[in-house]
Chains A and B, each alone.
Chain A
């Protein structure tokens, strides 16, 4: 069992609505939604802190919200997200329905046999 596996992955639009959210196991979905939504508080704080301190530095990774996350996971997810955004048929702001993205997310999630 790999401890770096995720249980919930969400991509949030800058208006704070979920572009993509998926979690395993599914029976806890609601709880994860609440958790992700609440964590936006911390994300907002981090963003405003980054904005103040670093100006226009292009570091996208905000760091860990809790010490269980993994940087590589972010890179992988972000690359896939970039691919989705580059799709000319994707309308930015719409929820993500890409199969490729789904696949990447599945690969990062805990496998529930």
Chain B
């Protein structure tokens, strides 16, 4: 329908026939092109009330002016409203204008004014033809137009337009044509806007009057619909739709108010009983039949709603929003049903269902008609609701005989019903509305049940049940499950039915009577005798829940003599007490922790030892714990240790129950939950070991059942309750519970009572005997093999109430034990003494009494303590074993002892230093030094104190002078001995301490004397001036036997000589040695042989300078074999030698030293060193060379140059 604009023309009757004719011809041609060209260009439409401006196309309809067509007062019709009046004239003759045209125009204007219309325009058409024909008496064109303007267009000059030569194809005429079109559009729109605004205002006024009595909704409906029509014609469908939506809302509000008790009179007509339920009609744009009934005020509620919706639908389809249609349709269906109820409209039974059904199909049909199939498929989420509504519409207990839709027979109805249901279900599934699909499926199942087809029904019910169970909706679960039970009973699925019955019997949503009924169903089955072959296995969870498992004692680990009890708490879900013939817990033997270790790993790890609490998986009520949270993580620490030294290689965390956690999520029902729909297939494992109790009665609620565990390490695996022919099985006990009944070997351990154990002093150690499975009988004794290095002291203490007696023979110490039961602990203390090894002597390996090679305790240094450690082993023969038990104890030597030889000229002194490295303070008494071999030798003690305090980390030095009568032996075997005791104890506790050492080459062979002479003519030395250094080396003794042998084998003739190397070195840079600093001296090997060496030295500073150091070394020619093979043992004690080595290394620049260094760098052992034929330097032993001028000083004066002052602060 197109918009009509009344374009009134007043056509004056020209006097001339020709003109008359011509004008009509002209107008007809103009009219057509005007009507065509007017809507070609859009105009901007500015609107009132702040509505956004729009571009619209105007279309006009031209009608000849008649006075009757002018709108009368109060006429609301907008559609037939003349918006613009046009007066056409081609008058160009002033006379004619004055005579007739003006008058005619006046009349036209008056009639317009009387009808209140101010929208007009006068168009003056001028053609060349007219001009030509009336050349003589024609006034200039402008003057006619001017006249018209002055006569009519008072201040509104735009109300008169000139159209020149409309039929010519000149640019001028085109221009004037375009400007005319623009003018017409503008004026038309102005008028339209003005009139529309007025119309809207009037409409609003009318709406405001709705509270007044006598106001009619239908009347108002017609008015607002007029506006909607106008918008629709302007193609403003959005605006048109708004009008209908407003009407919709207004009506809805009235109905709601009616429901709330606020009645409007006009609503009465809508309360009439429903007589027509023909459904929506959407094929026609306007359902005139219904519109008329509304206009007449005879429409029913369904009529009004249907009409309103059909209009909305049309506009929505214009707006290309078909999916909104479906959505609104659903709302409409719901609404109408509600509204009819609110208005208390009488509805024939089934009429509404028919209406809903027909309407749904009509909407679907309409939508399908305007969309292609691909679109439909993509948007079936919008249509599915309607399909479902169509389905429910028919199922609402409607006697289907009454359905108009050719549902004449039961078969036809079924066919339709199934078709619709399946369509709805499929569509729901396609768009992922699975719950809705299942609900439809459920009602289908109900349908099948009524039809007596439980098999099909069960499929749908199970499907729905699965969904409710997995999402934890207890009430639907119960309801659906009861339906399932009915199916299963009809289908004689015994196991399934019993399983479901058990679930229902434990369902708290049911009444006690219902629960008892289902429980009875199970019990009556179990009571059936005969037919032994048919045993039914059901999941334990539906019947009873294992809530707790408790071990007595809690450690879950006992030795084989004791009793371990396993207490299960079963929560019975049945409404009545049930007697169980047998309850069995199957157990699995754990090979890994074979029973002898006596340490249970499984049970001790738990936070609550001995008690395992099982997760409560709710039966049917509450949140689905298994689906929601899932089982909790069970983590364990693992440590990978190196098998050799037990050091940690790696550590980590493992998850023990990955098999439960990593379950695929799409598997719908967790296997353990009692909610599972099908019974478990897992039976009880054949041949497994079992804990059993017979004849238990389970009361509703918690029941406690106690088993006694057989020996071994076992894990509880399954639980099975037998009631007649029915077995309830819990296939997995999780978290796993393990217990251990073990057998243990006797164990003997020893540990120090105090740390550390000190050697040389009596120390207490504790023996612990775990008897294990062994019973200690009277007369049983431990036989300890005696060792020299660690005697057992007789002061053994007994522990506990019984006595221990100790008998020592030469080889063994026997400790008789008191009688003791198995798995008992005996403790006793022994006092032992570890003899400190004195050092040098090394007896041959001995054999112990038991034939084992005696392990000589060897001292070694321990990284944690400065004390030297000794491992002492004990070998013990025990009555329960033919093998000896070896136990080790570590002792620490509290002292470190050092010795040194000191000499002064011919005199020799021996110094012994005892350092206390322990943390104990000692008293040291009776310090003695003896020489073993030489009786003539006298060692005179220079120590004054008889008793000395030796605090921890302190040292005591002792000194003896060596005196001899004949010759001093070159080798001395010395023994240092002292008594010591911890400070706190008295004299009797003193224990001896021995230290053996050997001194070699003690005789002084040479004395070295140095003198410094000032330069000639000077009294004193001066810094920077050369002075002389005289070194005098004197042989003191005749050569001893060994010395000759070792020194000079080759030179057999003449007096024996030996080669010495001297060296002057000044380490403190006080002296500069000029010329040779070292040299070789050939010394005759006779007493008092002397050799002097002159060396020039220069003092570098003034003051009392210490003499430069003079060293004398043995020079061994390259042919000489290495004489001294240092004893590896003495090396440890003989520190002075290594000290000398160090000083040698310190020295700078002699060639021989360098050569020695090179030997070191090449050499890797003694053998190699021997083979190299190089001259060598060898230091003398301490005491062999005596230096007279050691620590002498000489006064050096400053240099004569007084200007330089040097201060040497050292």
Task: Using CB atoms and an 8 Å cutoff, list the residues of chain A in contact with chain B.
Answer: 1, 3, 13, 15-19, 29-30, 33-34, 37-38, 40-42, 44-45, 66-67, 93-95
Q: Is the beta-carbon distance between B623 and A94 smaller than 8 angstroms?
A: yes
In the complex, how many residues of chain B place their beta carbon closer than 8 angstroms to a beta carbon of chain A? 28
Q: Is the beta-carbon distance between B475 and A30 smaller than 8 angstroms?
A: yes
In this assembly, does B648 line the interface, its C-beta being within 8 Å of a C-beta of chain A? no
**A44 and B260 alpha carbons, distance in the complex (Å):** 34
Query: Which of chain B's residues have a CB closer than 8 A to the CB of A19?
Result: 623
Q: Is the beta-carbon distance between B471 and A38 smaller than 8 angstroms?
A: no
In this assembly, does B214 line the interface, its C-beta being within 8 Å of a C-beta of chain A? no
Q: Is the beta-carbon distance between B436 and A41 smaller than 8 angstroms?
A: yes
Q: Is the beta-carbon distance between A33 and B434 smaller than 8 angstroms?
A: no
Q: Is the beta-carbon distance between B439 and A15 smaller than 8 angstroms?
A: no
In this assembly, does B629 line the interface, its C-beta being within 8 Å of a C-beta of chain A? yes
**A33 and B331 alpha carbons, distance in the complex (Å):** 21
5 A-B residue pairs with Cβ-Cβ distance under 8 Å, sorted by A, are A15-B624, A33-B476, A34-B439, A67-B335, A94-B623
Q: Is the beta-carbon distance between A3 and B260 smaller than 8 angstroms?
A: yes
Which of A34, A40, A95 interacts with B623 by CB under 8 Å? A95
Q: Which residue of chain B is the closest to A33 with respect to CB atoms?
A: B475
Q: Is the beta-carbon distance between A15 and B471 smaller than 8 angstroms?
A: yes
Q: Is the beta-carbon distance between A15 and B628 smaller than 8 angstroms?
A: yes
Query: Which of chain A's residues have a CB closer than 8 A to the CB of B472?
Result: 15-18
Known contacts A33-B476, A34-B476, A45-B433; A15 and B627 CB within 8 A of each other = yes
**A95 and B331 alpha carbons, distance in the complex (Å):** 33
**A50 and B479 alpha carbons, distance in the complex (Å):** 34
Query: Which of chain B's residues have a CB closer than 8 A to the CB of A1?
Result: 259-261
Most chain B beta-carbon contacts within 10 A, residue among A19, A33, A37: A37
Do most interface residues of chain B lie in helix, strand or loop, or is the interface mixed?
helix
Q: Is the beta-carbon distance between B627 and A67 smaller than 8 angstroms?
A: no
Q: Which residue of chain A is the closest to B330 with respect to CB atoms?
A: A66
Query: Which of chain A's residues have a CB closer than 8 A to the CB of B624?
Result: 15, 17
Query: Which of chain A's residues have a CB closer than 8 A to the CB of B471?
Result: 15-17, 37, 40
Q: Is the beta-carbon distance between B476 and A17 smaller than 8 angstroms?
A: no
Q: Which residue of chain B is the closest to A39 with respect to CB atoms?
A: B435
Which of B259, B260, B335, B473 interacts with A17 by CB under 8 Å? B473
Query: Which of chain A's residues have a CB closer than 8 A to the CB of B428?
Result: 41
Q: Which residue of chain B is the closest to A17 with respect to CB atoms?
A: B472
Which of A18, A38, A93 interacts with B435 by CB under 8 Å? A38
Q: Is the beta-carbon distance between A3 and B259 smaller than 8 angstroms?
A: yes
Q: Is the beta-carbon distance between A67 and B475 smaller than 8 angstroms?
A: no
Contact residues of B between 247 and 271, Cβ < 8 Å to A: 256, 259-261
Known contacts A30-B479, A34-B476, A37-B473; A13 and B436 CB within 8 A of each other = no
B1085 nearest CB across to chain A (Å): 103
Query: Which of chain A's residues have a CB closer than 8 A to the CB of B434?
Result: 41
Against A, the Cβ 8 Å flags (1 = close, 0 = not) of B447-480 are 0000000000000000000001001110110010
Q: Is the beta-carbon distance between B473 and A41 smaller than 8 angstroms?
A: no
In this assembly, does B622 line the interface, its C-beta being within 8 Å of a C-beta of chain A? yes
In this assembly, does B334 line the interface, its C-beta being within 8 Å of a C-beta of chain A? yes
Q: Is the beta-carbon distance between A37 and B433 smaller than 8 angstroms?
A: no
Q: Which residue of chain A is the closest to B259 with respect to CB atoms?
A: A3
**A28 and B849 alpha carbons, distance in the complex (Å):** 96
Q: Which residue of chain A is the closest to B261 with respect to CB atoms?
A: A1
**A47 and B259 alpha carbons, distance in the complex (Å):** 34
Query: Which of chain B's residues have a CB closer than 8 A to the CB of A15?
Result: 471-472, 623-624, 627-628
Known contacts A41-B435, A67-B331; A13 and B473 CB within 8 A of each other = no
B252 nearest CB across to chain A (Å): 9
Nearest first, the 3 closest Cβ-Cβ pairs linking A and B are: A17-B472, A41-B433, A16-B471
Q: Which residue of chain A is the closest to B428 with respect to CB atoms?
A: A41
Q: Which residue of chain B is the closest to A67 with respect to CB atoms?
A: B331
Known contacts A1-B260, A15-B628; A95 and B622 CB within 8 A of each other = yes
**A113 and B256 alpha carbons, distance in the complex (Å):** 22
**A33 and B624 alpha carbons, distance in the complex (Å):** 16
**A66 and B338 alpha carbons, distance in the complex (Å):** 13
Which of B256, B259, B468, B622 interacts with A37 by CB under 8 Å? B468
Q: Is the beta-carbon distance between A33 and B473 smaller than 8 angstroms?
A: yes
**A68 and B808 alpha carbons, distance in the complex (Å):** 104
A11 nearest CB across to chain B (Å): 12
**A19 and B436 alpha carbons, distance in the complex (Å):** 21
Q: Is the beta-carbon distance between B628 and A37 smaller than 8 angstroms?
A: no
Q: Which residue of chain A is the closest to B627 with respect to CB atoms?
A: A15
A10 nearest CB across to chain B (Å): 10
**A67 and B622 alpha carbons, distance in the complex (Å):** 30
Q: Is the beta-carbon distance between A40 and B435 smaller than 8 angstroms?
A: yes
Query: Which of chain A's residues have a CB closer than 8 A to the CB of B436?
Result: 38, 41
Q: Which residue of chain B is the closest to A2 with respect to CB atoms?
A: B260
Q: Is the beta-carbon distance between A37 and B623 smaller than 8 angstroms?
A: no
A86 nearest CB across to chain B (Å): 20
B563 nearest CB across to chain A (Å): 39
Query: Which of chain A's residues have a CB closer than 8 A to the CB of B334?
Result: 66
Q: Which residue of chain B is the closest to A18 with respect to CB atoms?
A: B473
A83 nearest CB across to chain B (Å): 20
**A37 and B627 alpha carbons, distance in the complex (Å):** 17
Q: Is the beta-carbon distance between A38 and B439 smaller than 8 angstroms?
A: yes
Which of B335, B439, B468, B628 interacts with A93 by CB under 8 Å? B628
A56 nearest CB across to chain B (Å): 23
**A30 and B432 alpha carbons, distance in the complex (Å):** 24
**A34 and B473 alpha carbons, distance in the complex (Å):** 9
**A15 and B624 alpha carbons, distance in the complex (Å):** 9
**A17 and B439 alpha carbons, distance in the complex (Å):** 16
**A47 and B476 alpha carbons, distance in the complex (Å):** 24
**A44 and B433 alpha carbons, distance in the complex (Å):** 9
**A45 and B261 alpha carbons, distance in the complex (Å):** 38
A81 nearest CB across to chain B (Å): 16
Contact residues of B between 333 and 370, Cβ < 8 Å to A: 334-335
Query: Which of chain A's residues have a CB closer than 8 A to the CB of B260?
Result: 1, 3
Query: Which of chain A's residues have a CB closer than 8 A to the CB of B432?
Result: 41, 44-45
Query: Which of chain A's residues have a CB closer than 8 A to the CB of B473?
Result: 17-18, 33, 37
**A45 and B382 alpha carbons, distance in the complex (Å):** 12
A91 nearest CB across to chain B (Å): 10
B431 nearest CB across to chain A (Å): 8
**A55 and B7 alpha carbons, distance in the complex (Å):** 56
Known contacts A15-B627, A17-B623, A94-B623; A29 and B475 CB within 8 A of each other = yes
Q: Which residue of chain A is the closest to B433 with respect to CB atoms?
A: A41
A36 nearest CB across to chain B (Å): 8
**A17 and B473 alpha carbons, distance in the complex (Å):** 6
Q: Is the beta-carbon distance between B476 and A30 smaller than 8 angstroms?
A: yes
**A17 and B629 alpha carbons, distance in the complex (Å):** 12
Query: Which of chain A's residues have a CB closer than 8 A to the CB of B479?
Result: 30
Q: Which residue of chain A is the closest to B442 with respect to CB atoms?
A: A34
Q: Is the beta-carbon distance between B629 and A37 smaller than 8 angstroms?
A: no
Query: Which of chain B's residues have a CB closer than 8 A to the CB of A94?
Result: 623
**A53 and B261 alpha carbons, distance in the complex (Å):** 43
Contact residues of B between 621 and 645, Cβ < 8 Å to A: 622-624, 627-629
Not counting A41-B428, A66-B331, A67-B335, a sample of 18 additional A-B residue pairs whose C-beta atoms are within 8 angstroms of each other reads: A1-B261, A15-B627, A16-B471, A17-B471, A17-B624, A17-B628, A18-B472, A30-B475, A33-B476, A34-B476, A37-B439, A37-B468, A38-B436, A41-B433, A42-B433, A44-B432, A45-B432, A93-B629
Query: Which of chain A's residues have a CB closer than 8 A to the CB of B261?
Result: 1
Query: Which of chain B's residues have a CB closer than 8 A to the CB of A37?
Result: 435, 439, 468, 471, 473, 476
B261 nearest CB across to chain A (Å): 8
**A17 and B471 alpha carbons, distance in the complex (Å):** 5
A26 nearest CB across to chain B (Å): 11
Query: Which of chain B's residues have a CB closer than 8 A to the CB of A17?
Result: 471-473, 622-624, 628
Q: Which residue of chain B is the closest to A40 with respect to CB atoms?
A: B435
Query: Which of chain B's residues have a CB closer than 8 A to the CB of A44?
Result: 432
Q: Which residue of chain B is the closest to A44 with respect to CB atoms?
A: B432
A23 nearest CB across to chain B (Å): 10
Q: Which residue of chain A is the closest to B335 with respect to CB atoms?
A: A67
**A38 and B428 alpha carbons, distance in the complex (Å):** 11
Contact residues of B between 361 and 410, Cβ < 8 Å to A: 381
**A15 and B625 alpha carbons, distance in the complex (Å):** 10
Q: Is the beta-carbon distance between A13 and B439 smaller than 8 angstroms?
A: no
